[in-house]
Amino acid sequence: MIKILARRTNKSLSRANKKIQTLDMKVKTLNTRKDTLRKKVQRLNRKLNKSSSRVYTIRTPQPSTDTETGVPSPTTPKSRAITEINQLNMTPRSRKKVRQKLLFQNCILGDTKEAAQRLKGKAKIKTMGVICGKLIHRYRMGRQISRSLGVHIKQLLKARSQCTAAHEELSNLVGKQVKGTIQVHAVIPLGEGSIAVRNTSCFCDKCFVDGQPVPACDGWTVHRMSKTNIVQNSEAEQTTGHDESEQQGTELMECNKINTDELYQVNTYVAAIYESRWYVGQVLKYDEDDQEYNINFMIWIPSSDVLCSLDEPIKQGKTRNMFKFSGRDLEKVRNLFDRL
pLDDT values of the chain reduced to their tens digit, one per residue, 340 residues:
777 888 888 888 888 888 898 999 999 999 999 999 999 898 888 888 877 665 544 444 445 555 444 555 655 666 666 777 777 777 777 777 766 665 544 344 444 445 455 544 444 444 334 444 555 566 667 777 777 766 666 666 677 788 888 888 877 766 667 777 778 888 888 877 788 888 888 878 788 777 778 888 888 888 876 544 333 333 333 333 344 444 444 444 444 444 444 577 888 888 888 777 787 888 888 877 777 877 776 567 777 788 888 888 877 777 767 778 888 888 888 888 887 7
Q: For residue 121, what pLDDT is reported?
A: 46
What is the b/e burial string over 74-96, where b = at least 16 CB atoms within 10 angstroms of the residue's CB?
eeeebebbbebbeeeebeeeebe
Show Cβ contacts of residue 9 under 8 Å, excluding neighbours closer than 6 positions.
Answer: none
Q: For residue 102, what pLDDT is reported?
A: 59
* DSSP run (H or E) holding 279: strand 277-287
Report whether 309 contacts 295 (CB < 8 A): no
Helix (H, G, I), strand (E, B) or coil at 301: strand
Reported as half-sphere exposure (CB side, CA atoms, 13 A), residue 251 has a value of 12
Report whether 222 contacts 198 (CB < 8 A): no
Q: For residue 27, what pLDDT is reported?
A: 92
Q: For residue 230, what pLDDT is reported?
A: 36
Q: For residue 234, what pLDDT is reported?
A: 36
Strands 292-295 and 306-309: unpaired
Q: How far apart are CA 279 and CA 288, in angstroms?
A: 22
Q: How far apart are CA 130 and CA 82, in angstroms?
A: 10
Q: How far apart are CA 281 and CA 298, in angstroms?
A: 8
Q: For residue 255, what pLDDT is reported?
A: 43
pTM score, two decimals?
0.25
Instruction: Tell me how long the chain is.
Output: 340
Q: Across-strand partners of 18?
A: none
Reported as half-sphere exposure (CB side, CA atoms, 13 A), residue 256 has a value of 16
